Amino acid sequence: MTDKLTIRDQDVLLVVDIQNDFCPGGALSVPAGNEVVPIINRLARRFQHVVLTQDWHPRGHQSFASSHPGAKPYETIEVTYGAQILWPDHCVQGTPGAEFRKDLQIPHAELILRKGYHREIDSYSAFYENDRITHTGLAGYLRERGFTRVVMAGLAFDFCVRYSAEDAKREGFDVVVIEDACRSIDVEGSVQQTRQRFSKLGIACAPAETVA
């Protein structure tokens, strides 16, 4: 996509999980995750409306390998809602790892949407938890605000950005993912699967420089 993306009043920038634990030095570090921060800061200045998401787990969360005796991080287990990858403990409520990066500078963000706070359900998506039934409330918020297009950036491309993008589409929003403002974890082909899903669903990817 080489066309300019002209920002309108009905557009919202959704900035996904720019938290210490997802950046180098953090508990669930996304390689080069910190590199997106200046890109997202610049991008956010072009948007009147910005929403931030924050992964926000209680201690002993089901998605933590440490909650399952004998399990190791990055293994997949079956839980009530299907397959769940186990992660290192990360983004525990009230800890420094759960805080936004200090260099993330978006003072005009209008909403901070926290997710993953139910102990028994993980939530990659900003719209639905991983049981695919429990709403976070974000779709209703965006609709009430009159937004029709969601532009996304953040961490990680192949998990929380991916599922948020798919669900935004499912909820009837136009979706654009700013791919150079994302970084990936890449577990078992997850980046390739993300690209396949995006092309199947008509989710556009565009570089940050196209945002006018």
The footprint of Zn ion (CB under 5 A) covers: 55, 116
* Shortest distance (Å) from residue 115 CB to Zn ion: 8
* Shortest distance (Å) from residue 2 CB to Zn ion: 35
17 catalytically annotated: yes
User: What is the DSSP secondary structure assignment for residue 137, as one 8-state letter?
Assistant: S
Q: Which is nearer to Zn ion, 11 or 55 (CB)?
A: 55
Q: Which is nearer to Zn ion, 33 or 116 (CB)?
A: 116
* Shortest distance (Å) from residue 133 CB to Zn ion: 18
Which is catalytic among the residues 23, 115, 169, 205?
115
CA 106, CA 185: separation in Å to the nearest integer?
Answer: 24
Question: What does the angle CA 153 – CA 158 – CA 161 come to, to the nearest 5 degrees?
Answer: 30
User: What is the DSSP secondary structure assignment for residue 39, as one 8-state letter?
Assistant: H
The helix/strand/coil state of 56 is: coil
Q: Which is nearer to Zn ion, 116 or 154 (CB)?
A: 116
Q: Which is nearer to Zn ion, 9 or 75 (CB)?
A: 75
How far from each other are the two terminal CA atoms of the chain, in whole angstroms? 14
* Shortest distance (Å) from residue 91 CB to Zn ion: 5
Q: Which is nearer to Zn ion, 88 or 207 (CB)?
A: 88
Which is catalytic among the residues 11, 55, 122, 160?
160
CA 59, CA 39: separation in Å to the nearest integer?
Answer: 32
Residues 6+ apart with CB under 8 A from 178: 39, 43, 151, 152, 153, 205, 206, 207, 208, 211
Identify the CA nearest to 55 among candidates 32, 23, 82: 23
Burial of 109 (0-12, 13-18, 19+ CB in 10 A): middle
- Residue whose structure tokens are 């002993």: 60
* Shortest distance (Å) from residue 14 CB to Zn ion: 17
160 catalytically annotated: yes
Which residues are known catalytic residues? 17, 115, 160
